[in-house]
Amino acid sequence: MLPGLQPKQRLIVKVLAKGAQSPPDGTVVVCRHPGNANLVLTKRVWRSQGQLLELRGDNPEASTDSRHFGQVPLELVIGEVTAVIPATELTTARN
């Protein structure tokens, strides 16, 4: 998700309740990969179409996203990213 998210940042994620509506376009979500349930992805909602989401990474040249694996069912979305903790704050907190 470069440049929007940087390595070693921590994400605060609001879990998506069962039966919830699709997150609005532009929302950053954490979801399970549609072809590998053990792989967790962080992507931006490009387009919401009911129970299906088209997800894209912020760096289109380097991102594996819905252009490669298709639309993602809403049931695979774990939650919405609500906050990002910069890596520098993590280092400071440990000292």
Q: Does residue 51 carry a pLDDT above 60?
A: yes
Q: Region 22-27: what's the mean pLDDT?
A: 96
Mean pLDDT, the chain, rounded, equals 90
Tell whether pTM > 0.75.
yes
Q: Does residue 57 carry a pLDDT above 60?
A: yes
pLDDT of residue 71: 97
pLDDT of residue 92: 52
pLDDT of residue 5: 82
Domain 10-94, CATH among 2.40.340.10, 1.10.150.120, 2.10.109.10, 1.10.3720.10:
2.10.109.10
pLDDT of residue 90: 53
Report DSSP letters for the chain, one per residue: -TTTS-TT-EEEEEEPPTTPPPPPTT-EEEEEETTEEEEEEEEEEEEEETTEEEEE-SSTTT--SHHHH--EEGGGEEEEEEEEE-HHHHHHHH-
* Ranges of each domain in the chain: 10-94
